[in-house]
Structure 1
């Protein structure tokens, strides 16, 4: 009898250990109603976007890509529109990107990729953040001769420096800063984007044995700075601050966010730095003082690229998640800064760190973000890796982590007015669909609407994201949402709330009930 009990106990322990290795998240686990869920679409060297598409082909590609993300309950697209001081849209300040046509820089594709992507993304109720790379002029293997003949760098060769195998704008020249600000102003003026987004490329990553060639620029413009490093950091700080100011003066609700390298400073260099041993850091090598941006309110969100596992000791995910959470909590002096986390989807089943061979490593990192209580979501690098679905990890995301819709976080410091619920909501029913028709003509404080659906004749829980069936952008006071997934034999109550340009939801909803069946 004792032997039998021992055998049973051993079996139970084995079953338990196996279940711990391959966890399954409970389907009824509480889902967040508000959570950033973004995917980067990198166009540089055509990482995520094929080159040479016609307008019809590009439209079909964009519809498929954004549609697949929407099905997985992503709510934001980060579309790279200026990969190398060029443009994926018609610009008077920068040439057409070679990455849209696959031909020489400056070749007009004959259509507007950004506008098409923007229309499709908003059509799915998703935000579009326009991703720019300000200083980079070329990629390795390219020369200045590869730039378009009318490129600003050819008109002002004194603005250009070479470092390693690439060319860059010199960040220390005031005219360079002003030009870069003007390119952002053109972008924000001409397009109804939700945010401007910059990544981790400021001063370039250090190359061993090679100094960035800006000593003469420092002697010309560095008055008041005792060393070149502080001057470089100030150059970046000024650009970040001025870009944000320019955006807010034009459209106060448009966000400005940056996704820096995952380590500000190592603790060996600064007692307030993270307990890491990163070979390069934002502050000391890229001259990107992320703390200062948080402190002076130059950004609305920050997305550190914590592209390491929870077992990687040199730069540990869990340590950095906690460090960045303390950072935004401690140093947000002018206004709060939303913290999102950059996720290393590209490393799943493709890295020397064996932790990435576990399909649950990245999904569990997202759960850590949620339990952290400060992080408000995540951004995935990049779209092709989400679709590659190595080890089935993206299936886990869809089925167990993102299995309800979520709203993007608000930025009330850019405008805290609470919108009123829609004036009119009507239902048009057929056997196939229910069309939710919103008329809000007299209201000017609404950017989009949230459509909820509840079974039966009574109002349900508006805080439960399971009832969110769609988000639709306002179109001159009107909007339409088509519900194709309801059961035609059931009766429903639909509720529609308004959302301000800064993401604040109305306190009330306009409700309509379907007819008896």
Structure 2
């Protein structure tokens, strides 16, 4: 089988023959007959995986290459990242749209980001987020809009902020720490702003999820965060640490509720630092000796899972197997236990950027995925960052494709959806470019995308689909399979999916023999 990125999507009926004179041009067309009524929709989602990558925009880490680039160059660079994601076999992107109290879209609350047009507040000339989402969906990649709720600036100079930036108009909301500017999470006004910013995007754009990373209170760096006055005013007798955790909890709990109220299909997920607490601090913690999100950035990540305040959790497990302070094996086991029975989806944050460091060779990420397979609670992986993954840093990406991503994957189904009605009238045509497969769209309005499966030889007309034979997914009613070989016979099956990845029964398969030329 092949990675999904090797296939070309199309929206035509795909039932005609190739007008060219390629090697396969004279091969026959196979058309599915009456639709299947006896085959049930796939009921086992254990083969499902979310496969994603983070596209960081802060400091132009992954995109754009330079704010000075032309609009067309910026668009082309983003498309190349998405095409690279498909080539690897991914099905989701996590794109940073609010890196630092700014916006990669026309926000009524915050200025345009300096990292899109070179200066905060400068209009880049196009709706960046709309472009982001539409290009991702055109490749059937989930789009997770990544926000940083509290970071204001990587520099302490408030004069560099745009005059209309809320952080400049409300200097009492801002604290300087470690040479940077941060909103004070203990202020109700700050929580209100973060909530309004997120809901504005949820309501205006067709995103699939809201995503936070690991930045809540800043990581400790030589001194305490300067929020003594805020604690005195709002602490209500709590210790500073407990009060800080309560502030973050309130934002997480409130956003989860409000995002689902605004659009029930939009999910809310967080990618925290990989260690909640060490066992030496708490018997429920992990057997690690590392920084603790609970104590150091006041993020009670385990509580969010247990309370169901997140739809998915993606801990950043950026250590190698056998690491003396934080062993990857230990942490995967710990996180698997935390999500068990909760309904919260667990995916693992992987460090593509570390490939080549001591103890992190080209095979390390592949070993991580092999280990993950022992824990059915692990439903996929997300890689930081896009440039390292798509660029095949140290050969690690090629190893992932060879060992784990030969077949495409559908993300795990999320709660609240329902399988659409099946597609129909599947046709397979051998052409000079491979095999063109087309189908009649599902009559259900819930149908968002389609999954195409391929089996060698003449398969049964009506048969259950096997996730190991998934060729690709697409938004549209046809694909071209360029990997079909001359002289071979293939049978193609098509299922319909809603946007939460609930899958219909397959339509009647279509069998075709590719000519020898």
C-alpha contact (below 8 Å) 2:493/2:506 kept by paired residues? no
2:81 is matched with 65
CA separation of 1:461/1:83 partners in 2, compared to 1, >3 Å: closer, same or farther? Answer: farther
The separation in 2 between residues aligned to 1:365 and 1:456, in whole angstroms, is 34
Q: 1:391 aligns with which of 375, 389, 394?
A: 394
Question: Aligned in 2, Cα 1:432/1:194: closer, same or farther, shift over 3 Å?
Answer: same
Q: TM-score, normalised by structure 2?
A: 0.85
Q: Give the corresponding residue for 2:469.
A: 467
Q: Show the 5 A alignment for 1:165-204.
A: 165-204=179-218
The whole-number CA distance in structure 2 between the counterparts of 1:238 and 1:455 is: 53
Give 1:434 deviation, angstroms: 4.5
**Equivalent residue number for residue 421 of structure 1:** 422
Structure 1 residues 244-266: Cα deviation after superposition (integer angstroms, max 9, x where no partner): 11211122111111110011011
- Structure 2 residue ranges without an equivalent (≥5): 1-44
Give 3-state SS (helix, strand or coil) of 1:340's partner: strand
Spell out, residue by residue over 1:96-132, the C-alpha distance to the aligned partner (whole angstroms, 9 max, x if none).
Answer: 111112x211111101232223222222222111111
Of 226-235 and 117-126, deviating more is: 117-126
**Structure 1 residues 71, 109: CA separation in 2 closer, same or farther (over 3 Å shift)?**
same
Mapped contact 1:58–1:113 kept (Cα < 8 A): no
Of the three residues 101, 104, 118, the one matched with 1:88 is: 104
Alignment of 1:413-452 (within 5 A): 415-422=416-423, 425=426, 430-432=431-433, 434-440=435-441, 442-452=443-453
Map residues 119-198 of structure 1 onto 2, 5 A cutoff: 119-139=134-154, 141-198=155-212
Residue 454 of structure 1: CA displacement? Answer: 3.0
Match of 2:359 in 1: 355
From 337, 347, 352, the equivalent of 1:345 is 352
Shift of 1:157: 1.7
Structure 1: runs of 5 or more not aligned: 1-30
**1:37 corresponding residue in structure 2:** 51
Q: Which of 101, 123, 129 is equivalent to 1:108? A: 123
Counterpart for residue 29 of structure 2: none
The equivalent position to 1:244 in structure 2, one of 245, 256, 259, is: 256
3-state secondary structure, aligned to 1:372: coil
Comparing both chains, which one has the higher relative contact order based on Cα–Cα distances under 8 Å and sequence gaps of 6 or more? 2
Aligned with 1:369 (options 352, 367, 372)? 372
Q: What is the Cα deviation at residue 490 of structure 1?
A: 4.6
Identify which range, 437-446 or 498-507, moves more after superposition: 437-446
Deviation at 1:435, TM superposition (A): 4.3
Alpha-carbon separation, structure 2, partners of 1:360 and 1:72: 16
CA shift, 1:438, in A, is 4.4
Question: RMSD of aligned C-alpha atoms?
Answer: 2.3
Q: State the aligned residue count.
A: 468
Counterpart contact for 1:35–1:407, Cα < 8 Å:
yes
What is the alpha-carbon distance in structure 2 between the residues aligned to residue 380 and residue 235 of structure 1? Answer: 29
1:496 Cα deviation after fit: 1.4
Tell me the alpha carbon deviations over residues 267-289 of structure 1, each in whole angstroms, 9 at most, x when there is no partner. 111111111111x2111111101
Give the deviation of 1:319 after TM superposition: 0.8
